[in-house]
């Protein structure tokens, strides 16, 4: 991988104690993965590192990926493509050709945007839809939505291996489940991972994480759970409880996590600690990056 690029990455990321009475007797260590790189922060780099390496090993010159109009992942792929010498194609959900600063920035980085109506987008992994994309954009290397593939696992293992203090559990936000799956797979014995789903009623996530474990490890794991209670209304929605939590957090700490992912994970952690879930334990909370926007 390009040495100049890798030298720009802030790795390992800091693991810093969060002193806040809100978390009771639980000691919270924030893993500041948001600081890895402004354009490819947090779980984006962790999940894409080995995918991009694989694309290069296979001689691909184009990365093609998928996302909503506000996808952090699409922006990160555009930035990586520009820096590492790949053409990039972003297949964006929605026929109305939305644009916003994030998509404009992706285009400035050389990404070709291609819009798919919602019905076709839902079928984006079907052979006919993929074949049409390959016809149009050449034999591009396909990076699935969110970058969740078995190739995300080694990057997430590197994240876990950076934890250099004793801990009992890890808490992270869950979108597609790839980050949680990779973290759980890398945890040493006796530690557990708790994912906070940012989606409303996304019960299928549990089966998807288990399926990832079966495909990568050959067996399921019992060291993780997903808590579905802190979606705050659904993806990218917010409610009064989240707003109050983030405002208080910002007043106390001088910065606030994003409301889309990390804010919900930390809100969940605070409620769980309030219920005595982590009494006397040390929890690593993953600041997986800035939110969509």
Ligand X SMILES: Cc1ncc(COP(=O)(O)O)c(C=O)c1O
Inter-axis angle of helices 204-217 and 178-186, to 10 degrees?
A: 50
Residues 147-206 that bind ligand X (CB under 6 A): 148, 173-180
Report in angstroms how near the CB of residue 4 gets to ligand X at its nearest: 25
Report in angstroms how near the CB of residue 202 gets to ligand X at its nearest: 10
Q: Please work out, in degrees rounded to the nearest 5, the angle formed at the alpha carbon of residue 40 by the alpha carbons of 35 and 41.
A: 30
Cβ nearer to ligand X, comparing 24 with 152: 152
DSSP string across 101-146: HHHHHHHHTTPEEEEE-HHHHHTTTSHHHHHHHHHHH-SPEEE-GG
Cβ nearer to ligand X, comparing 65 with 273: 65
Long-range residue pairs from 135-138, CB within 8 A, at least 24 positions apart, any chain:
137/62, 137/64, 137/89, 137/112, 138/62
Q: Which residues pair with 114 in a beta bridge?
A: 91
Report in angstroms how near the CB of residue 128 gets to ligand X at its nearest: 26
The pair of three-digit structure tokens given for residue 95, joined into one six-digit string: 């026929």
State the number of binding residues for ligand X (CB under 6 A).
18
Residues 28-87 that bind ligand X (CB under 6 A): 42-43, 72-73
The pair of three-digit structure tokens given for residue 261, joined into one six-digit string: 């992912």
Cβ nearer to ligand X, comparing 24 with 33: 33
Which residue from 24, 102, 146, 268 is in contact with ligand X, where contact means CB under 6 A?
A: 146
Cβ nearer to ligand X, comparing 42 with 268: 42
Cβ nearer to ligand X, comparing 171 with 173: 173
Cβ nearer to ligand X, comparing 24 with 42: 42
DSSP 188: P
Report in angstroms how near the CB of residue 259 gets to ligand X at its nearest: 11
CB 250 within 8 A of CB 256: yes
Report in angstroms how near the CB of residue 178 gets to ligand X at its nearest: 4
Neighbours of 77 (CB within 10 A): 30
| CB neighbour list of residue 138: distance below 8 Å, 6 or more residues apart | 62
Pinpoint the alpha helices (H) of 164-277: 178-186, 204-217, 240-253, 262-274
**143 in contact with ligand X (CB under 6 A):** no
Burial class (CB in 10 A: 0-12, 13-18, 19+), 195: buried
Which residue from 66, 86, 261, 278 is in contact with ligand X, where contact means CB under 6 A?
A: 261
Cβ nearer to ligand X, comparing 270 with 288: 288
Report in angstroms how near the CB of residue 87 gets to ligand X at its nearest: 23
Report in angstroms how near the CB of residue 65 gets to ligand X at its nearest: 12
Q: Which residues bind ligand X (CB under 6 A)?
A: 42-43, 72-73, 146, 148, 173-180, 261, 288-289, 291
């Amino acid at each position: 991988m390009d040495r100049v690029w890798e030298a720009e990455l802030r790795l390992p990321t800091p693991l810093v104690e969060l002193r806040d009475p809100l978390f009771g007797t639980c000691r919270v260590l924030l893993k500041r993965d948001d600081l890895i790189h402004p354009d490819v922060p947090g779980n984006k780099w962790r999940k894409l590192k080995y995918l991009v390496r694989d694309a290069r090993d296979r001689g691909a010159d184009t990365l093609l990926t998928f996302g909503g109009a506000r996808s952090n992942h699409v922006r990160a792929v555009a930035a990586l493509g520009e820096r590492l010498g790949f053409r990039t194609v972003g297949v964006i959900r929605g026929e109305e050709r939305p644009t916003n600063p994030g998509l404009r920035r992706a285009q400035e980085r050389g990404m070709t945007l291609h819009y798919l109506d919602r019905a076709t987008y839902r079928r984006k992994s079907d052979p006919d839809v993929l074949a049409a994309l390959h016809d149009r954009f050449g034999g591009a290397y396909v990076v699935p939505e969110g970058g969740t593939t078995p190739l995300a696992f080694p990057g997430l293992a590197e994240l876990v291996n950076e934890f250099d203090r004793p801990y009992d559990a890890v808490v992270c936000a869950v979108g597609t489940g790839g980050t949680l799956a990779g973290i759980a797979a890398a945890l040493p014995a006796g530690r557990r991972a708790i994912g906070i789903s940012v989606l409303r009623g996304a019960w299928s996530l549990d089966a998807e994480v288990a399926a990832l474990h079966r495909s990568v490890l050959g067996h399921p794991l019992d060291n993780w759970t997903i808590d579905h209670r802190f979606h705050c209304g659904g993806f990218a929605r917010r409610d009064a409880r989240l707003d109050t939590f983030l405002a208080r957090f910002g007043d106390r700490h001088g910065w606030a996590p994003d409301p889309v992912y990390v804010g919900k994970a930390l809100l969940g952690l605070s409620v769980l600690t309030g219920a005595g879930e982590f009494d006397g334990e040390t929890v690593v909370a993953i600041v997986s990056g800035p939110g969509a926007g």
